[in-house]
Amino acid sequence: MFAISLLFLVIGVSTLRAEEQNLDEISRRLDNPLTSLWSLTFEDKIYVKEGDAIEGSTLANTLFFQPGLPIPVGRNKDKVFIVRPVFPLVTNPVLDSTDPDRVNGHETGLGDIQLLSLLGPSRLEGIVWGGGATFKFPTASEDVLGAGKYQAGPAAMLFNMKKPWTIGTLIQHWWSYAGDDDRAGTNRTDIQYVIRYALPKAWSVGMGPTISIDWEADSDDRWTVPVGLGLTKTLRIGNTPVKCRAEVHYAVIRPETFGTEWTFMFRVAPVIKSPFK
Give 150-160 pLDDT, tens digit per residue.
Answer: 999 999 999 99
pLDDT digits (tens, 9 = 90+) for 21-74: 589 889 888 888 888 899 999 999 999 999 988 888 999 999 999 999 999 997
CA distances from 12 to 7, 18, 20, 114, 203 (A): 9, 10, 12, 45, 21
Instruction: Kindly report which listed range (3-17, 64-78, 216-230, 247-261) carries the lowest average pLDDT score.
Output: 3-17
Question: Quick check: 6 pLDDT over 60?
Answer: no
| pLDDT given for residue 9 in this prediction | 31
Residues 6+ apart with CB under 8 A from 119: 73, 79, 80, 81, 82, 130, 131, 132
250-269: pLDDT as tens digits:
999 999 999 999 999 999 99
Identify the CATH assignment for 2-272 out of 2.40.50.140, 2.40.160.40, 1.10.3720.10, 3.40.50.150. 2.40.160.40
Rounded to a whole number of angstroms, the distance between the first and last alpha carbons of the chain is: 43
Segments making up each domain of the chain, as ranges = 2-272
Give the pLDDT mean for 155-167: 94
Q: Identify the CA nearest to 225 among candidates 214, 207, 210, 246.
A: 210
The 3 state secondary structure assigned to 134-153 is: EEEECCCCCHHHCCCEEEEE
Alpha-carbon 239 to chain mean position: 25
Tell whether the model's pLDDT for residue 196 goes beyond 60. Answer: yes
